[in-house]
Structure 1
């Protein structure tokens, strides 16, 4: 499949990818350090076993992306409650069941989309396929986990005009397929990196990329986007 190297995981992938996570020692080293910081320093193997059992109990029976995200939701809600003074939102009443493209500024590439996902999930609307740069992924457990949470990969390390065009065309095609054929919501940052001066302007290159595949394949009817 032409999108396999960049696409978000789908229901058919869930069981095998969770098994891969369960067998990844590094994944549980990181999790045990986060959830059991003291124990992981004194008794690292015990801490890893504890967090592995916890993960298997809560995520191991997931067979769909929705079930995986349902298991993840309490952790996201807890993070919001413990680390913020709360967050507000508006405009949710304007969303329908039609797929929506969200182009957003960002301060944290993971948490910005996570907040929006949380709002959508709690209101029983479709969650997002999230564009994430490959510079933030490791090709191992972090990538597995994020793609299980519907992230797809944006290549940042492009070299030469031919490779750049090829990968941007693939990305554009995947986004258009997600919206038009898969009926999935999409979240993408309006520019690469954060605006240090607070001026959050959309990079024209992002808009050109979105349109790139439709010029040849006519996959996109822009009037149906929100």
Structure 2
């Protein structure tokens, strides 16, 4: 009986060891399968990103050939922003515009919602890239970002971009200029009240506004910032 008992104990021990080995192998295999699936999904997303970047290059003749996105995480964030802007505008702000806006804003560390809300006010919410503003003593403003012909060239030079008057009607070009100009104004003044009022009234107009009102909190600057704060895009709430 003792021998039989010992044999049974040994058999059970061996079987237990085999079960543990098989269990570990199963877990290792499962982990490897998951790793392969993740890698496959990342490769798929990378290919999708590359395709869409090439698509953007086809739309934008002033984009450099080496235009790149700094990683899938930034790309995914840009797509999230794009979808939000498309929905908020009831489809008027095209998804490709939103993706491009988010990518350009990332590069200059500008909140893309600030840019979007500015473009919304500038176009009266219609986001018409062919818009021509009313005549003023300084002339008309043109395009999605409503630049004037005396402002566009020096901002384009600052951005190291080519310039022709008709390019102000290119929505991608207008988005680029608006981000470059906002970045410049924010660096110049250090806050969005000054930067946004300067965008709206001009830098000399900003000085006059402050002299008359005591601060830079114009309706334009306040409305844009309030709209950003109300945004449902949580990752960019301030």
TM-score range, shorter chain: under 0.3
Pick the structure with greater CA Rg: 2
**Which is richer in helix?**
2
Greater relative contact order: 1 or 2 (C-alpha under 8 angstroms, separation 6 or more)? 1
**Which is richer in strand?**
1
Task: Give the alignment's TM-score, normalised by structure 1.
Answer: 0.26
Task: Give the alignment's TM-score, normalised by structure 2.
Answer: 0.25
